[in-house]
Each structure stands twice: as C-alpha cells, then as structure tokens.
Chain A
Amino acid sequence: MSDAALPALSRRARFRAEHAGTLRGARFFVWTFSRSPSALLGLALVLAFLLLAAIGPWIVPYPEDARGAVNLGRRLLPPSAAHWFGTDEMGNDILTRVVVGTRTSFWIGLTITGLAALVGVPLGVAAGYFGGRIRTAIMRVTDVFLAVPGLVLALAIVASLGPGILHGVLALTLVWWPGYVRLIEAKALTLRGESYVEAARTMGASHGWILARHILPNCVSPIVVKASMDMGMAILAAASLGFIGLGAKSPAPEWGAMISVGRGYMPDWWWYPAAPGLFIFLTVLGFNLFGDGLRDTLDPRSNRG
C-alpha cells in the first residue's frame, strides 16, 4: 500500500492495514485457545481468582474476621446459610478468611514467579547464547539446585532463617530460579544456531542487539507458559510450607496455615480445612489448565509432560 493512499483511510482502517500480520496472529491465537474447553475453564478459574484477589476484601460477608477477630460466641459452627464454610476456632467466618487469603496467595505467587524469572532468564540467556565457560559455570550451579527437590531445600532454608511468610517466599524464590535457567538456556542455544542470528552476526550486529531483537523476543512464549504454570505451583508450594508450620502463621489469612490449624480440629470439625484446600486446588488447577492452553497455542511443538 502506498503512502499516498493511506490518508484516505480512517485511522482505524490504517491501523488494521499496518498491523495486519499481528492482528491475524492474535485472531488465530484467540481461535485456537477458545477451541479447547480445558483452556477456557483454566482461563475462567484464573479470572475468578484475580477478581477475588482484587475485590475480595470488599465483598466478603464479615470483613473484620479477615484480620482475626475474636467472636467466641460463634466458634466452630458447621456450614450454614450465614457461614457457608462454617466458622473457625476464633469464631471467624471461614469463607471470609479464604476469600481474603486469595490476595495473599496472589502476591506470594507473583513474587516467587516474578523474582525467579528475573534471576533465571538473564542467566539462561547468558548460558545459552554465550556458551563456553560462562555456560559451564551457570549450568553447574543450576544443576546443583535442581539436584534436591525444591520443597526440601526450601524447608532447609526456612528452618535456618526462621519461620514466617517472607522467609518462605524468599526460600521458594531461591529454589525456583533454576527452572528458568534450564528452560531459557535450551531455547537460547537453539536460537543461537538459527540462520537469521548468524546473518545478523556476520553483518556486524552487536551482542546486545542480537539479544534484544532475536533471542529475547523468541523466548517470550516459553517464559509466559512457564510463568503461568508456576503461579499455581508457587502458590501450592507456599501453602505447603504454611501447612508444615514454617510459612505464614495464623491469624494471617493464608490457605496453607488455615489447613494447618484446621487439622487440629479434625475429625469433629472436619469442614474447617475443606474450604482453604478447595481454593488451593481450584487456583492451581486454573493456572495449570491455562498454562496448558497457552502452550498448545503459543508453543505447539513442545507439548510434553
């Protein structure tokens, strides 16, 4: 299309013409994604989770219970119309505390995933793209961290730092970054051999330019897929630490800690741990299905495990 023809078009039409390729890609993405029922279910669960995290504190029936009020008159009540999931040992509404806990989990997931990607991606790019000794050094350290199950290493770190939600998040971040190094290193290694990267290099492009224009943009899809799955898995891991008694502490409204306290009231008050566990399950399921759907559309060739 020549420049002379453009002014005749409306602004909207011009935008469409200029970005035809991107728009076509986006339409294709939406089409593939929406063809998968499980991906849509994942999307719905993730959106519901985000919505609760955003407006939860304003829509819960007993806002003062979120911070841990004391209502001994209505402690350990079974589920009813007034208290859908019953009440806990302090007489707090469990539904309220679980919904408010959504925000805690959201921050935990976002912090762990974000920091892990922030540390892991540059290291992975450096290892994969530059190769040689840099790669050996980075990958050896990564392998050591991957040689112990993350939960065990996190437990050891929290044990040393002392229990608490911040220490839990820090410990999980410290065990989470190697996954990104592994992923991005493999991706950068293949990209480095692509002919367009070779071509850019022969034309005298700097490393910075090649990384910014060729390597990183091609790493975005796998990062997004992994990050969306990791949101769920990080929330699950943090809840696990809370359950053991090394993460968040009651009365903080955190799902794992709630189950940990509720366990003490089993089997007579069995509904206590039911609701927080259900919320963990639905959240992790949502992020997993959503991530699966993203992978099928963004990165169809890597559909493994």
Chain B
Amino acid sequence: MLRFLARRIGYLALMLGGLVLVTFVISNVTPADPAALAAGPDATPAMVATMRQEYGLDRPLPEQFARYVGDLLQGRLGRSIQTGNAVTEDLLRYVPASLQLVLLAMGFACAVGIPLGVLSAVRRHSLFDHAVRVLAVSGVALPAFWIALLLQLVLAVWAGWLPTGGQLSIAADPPPVLTGMVLLDSLLAGQWGTAGDAAAHAVLPAFVLSLPCLASVLRVNRAEMIEVLGSDHVTAARAHGVAPRRVVGLLALKNAMLPTLAIIGLRFGWMLGSTVLVETVFDWPGLGLYAVNAAIAADFKPVMGVTLTIGLLFMLANLLVDLAYGWLDPRTRGA
C-alpha cells in the first residue's frame, strides 16, 4: 500500500508539472502584450519597456519558465489587476467558498443518486425506472446556467422562498473565519441564525451544480446494481434464504459502490469547472466567478491561478479515489 501511495503521489507531481507547463504556454501565446496591460492604458513605450524588463519578459523563454516555476514553488502567482491583491491571497478566500458549494452538491448527488439508482435497478423496467432514466439523461443535458436562471426566477424572485444570490445576507452576522466555508464556520461558532441564512443561500447553486453529478451517480449505480444482482454470489445468497433487503443492501450495494466512487471522483472535477457558470448566475464569491471576471477583464494571472488550483484540487480528489479504490479492492493496486 505504501509503494502504491508513493507511486500515485509521484504521478501527481508529474501531472502537476505538465499542467504548469500548459499554463505557461497558454500565457505566452496571448496576442495581447502583458507588459502593456500591466503598465496601463496611458503608458508611454518607455514605461512598457521598463515594465517588460521588470517582469523579465525580455528574457529567453526557458529562463522565463524557470522563473515562473520558481515563483510557483514559493506560492507566488502574481497580482490581479482587477482586485489589486496577490492572486494567492484571493484564491485563499475563494477556494473555500467554491469547495463548500461543490461538497454540498456532491453530498446531495450521492444522497439522492445512490438510493434512486438502487431502486430503479431493483424495479428494472418499471414505470419508476423509466422516469428515473429520463431524469438522469435530462440532468446531463440541461444547460446549468439556464436552469440556474429559471430556478432563480421562479423560486427566488417570484416565490421569494430563497435568496437570489450571494453567500450571506448583508444583515447576517458573518462568523469568525476558521475554514473559510461560511456554512461550516457559522455552525462551528454556534451562530444558528447565520448558518440558516448561509444554508438558504447555498440551496439553489448547490442543487444546480449537483444535477449532472446526480445523473452520473444514478446511471452508474443502476448499471452496476443490475450486474451485481445478476451475479452468482447474489443468486446463491438468495437461494440460501437471505432476506431480499440484506441481499440488495449488503451484498449488492457494497460491490456496486466501487464504480460509483470512481464516477464521483471524476464528477468532482467537472463540478469545480461548472462553478464558472453557476457562480456567475448566483453571484457566489468563489473560484468560478473570480475566474470569469478576470477572464473578461483580460487579467491573466488570476485565470492561470484558478486553472492551476482547480487542476490541483481535481488531482487530489482523483488521488483520494485511487487510494480508496486500492484500499477497498487490492487488485487495483498494481495498475
């Protein structure tokens, strides 16, 4: 297991290095001149030249890359033109907000997707099964930003049941920052009113974010359950008179969980990517909104920072899934 872990971490480092190279290439193909951008619109050519020298943009590319890597290793991601802060500083504030949203969405997707998958596998070809499948395909096909707008319109603007956007009401008393996740922080601080407010704000964005994940979890779980329920050991257990509830719950579901786990890991990354859309609609102060605002303003450093951060989070999630896999199913350790 230790060797397996070491190999996985080595691989992660390699991938991260590759990603750093990719972001470096992307930042260097830009037709806009970063020095001119940083110097501002009124800069004279001489000022731009000074800026270029200061940023080391006049050096050969390999040297620039070495500098870039060196900066990254020290946690320096540059400065955002828009917010005026160091990108690292901004990221530390926005990562927990997005992570809270993604984790809530993931929890919801599992809590709903797994039971629905099991039930539709048990009642295969029933009306319920067909209804669930329609739901599953729609979950992937619905444009997240569009369904977000519609839900916002109906549930928040018209019905007034939920807030339209943001992370907390202006009137709410923000909790002391521990994890940076507002909901968790207010629970930890025992501020129940704030926690309720934070939860109400998170409902719509988390729900919209969870739809594709829910659909995938449901589909994979259903397919796996059908396969496991048809296998020999389940038939044998049934023949021995094991109660149907135990057969489904213990024998089958346990075996069907492995592929479900894999799809959850994969979807985690997708959800991090979808924050770009969902946070834009709900004005949620997270990574996605930060990246979009920066991208529109041609503020490259934050965009690259977000790309690297989301890539790193995704790789870590995949590492966790791999480890869980290796732990649950020793046969996969060699792969």
Contact = CB atoms under 8 A, between A and B. Distances in A.
B263 interface: yes
Contacts of A155: 276, 291-292, 295, 303, 307
A284 B23 CA distance: 30
A30 interface: no
A232 B141 contact: yes
Contacts of B29: 160-161
Interface in B150-188: 150, 152-153, 157-158
A88 interface: no
B216 A280 contact: no
Interface in B2-29: 14-15, 18-19, 21-23, 26-27, 29
B73 interface: no
Interface in A130-167: 140-141, 143-145, 147-153, 155-163
Interface residues of A, number: 50
Contacts of B263: 305
A149 B269 contact: yes
B94 interface: no
Nearest to A285: B141
Interface in B309-328: 310-311, 314-315, 318
B307 A153 contact: yes
Interface in B39-76: none
B92 interface: no
Interface stretch (B132-140, B190-198, B200-208): B132-140
Interface string A269-288: 01001101100110011001
Interface string B215-228: 01001100100000
B130 to A, nearest CB: 8
A304 interface: yes
A289 interface: yes
Contact of B18 (A144, A157, A280, A289): A144
Contact of B137 (A38, A159, A263, A305): A38
Interface residues of B, number: 62
A240 to B, nearest CB: 6
A147 B276 contact: no
B137 A151 contact: no
A167 to B, nearest CB: 10
Contacts of A157: 26
A304 B216 CA distance: 10
Contacts of B144: 240
Given A149-B310, A156-B303, A267-B158, A280 B146 contact: yes
Which of B22, B150, B298 neighbours the largest number of chain A CB atoms within 10 Å of its CB? B22
Interface string B115-152: 00000000000000000011001101111111101101
Nearest to B308: A148
Which of A149, A267, A280, A284 neighbours the largest number of chain B CB atoms within 10 Å of its CB? A149
Contacts of A195: none
Contacts of A93: none
A259 interface: yes
A232 B314 CA distance: 24
Interface in A34-75: 38
Interface in B280-317: 280-281, 291-292, 294-296, 298, 300, 303-304, 306-307, 310-311, 314-315
A141 B18 contact: yes
Contact of A147 (B19, B223, B295): B19
Which of A162, A243, A266, A288 neighbours the largest number of chain B CB atoms within 10 Å of its CB? A243
A152 B157 CA distance: 30
Contacts of B19: 144, 147-148
A289 B140 CA distance: 11
A246 to B, nearest CB: 6
Nearest to A156: B307
Contacts of B18: 140-141, 143-144, 147
A11 to B, nearest CB: 44
B108 interface: no
A235 to B, nearest CB: 10
Contact of A156 (B146, B150, B304, B315): B304
Contact of B223 (A244, A259, A284, A303): A303
Nearest to A229: B140
Given A153-B22, A267-B153, A277-B149, 5 more contacts: A144-B22, A152-B310, A156-B304, A159-B303, A160-B29
The 8 A-B pairs of least Cβ separation, nearest first, read: A149-B273, A277-B146, A144-B18, A159-B295, A284-B141, A160-B30, A285-B141, A151-B273
28 contacts: A140-B18, A143-B18, A144-B21, A144-B22, A145-B22, A147-B15, A149-B269, A149-B270, A149-B272, A153-B307, A156-B295, A156-B307, A159-B300, A160-B27, A160-B303, A163-B296, A243-B280, A244-B292, A245-B296, A276-B146, A277-B143, A280-B143, A281-B142, A284-B140, A303-B223, A304-B259, A305-B223, A305-B263
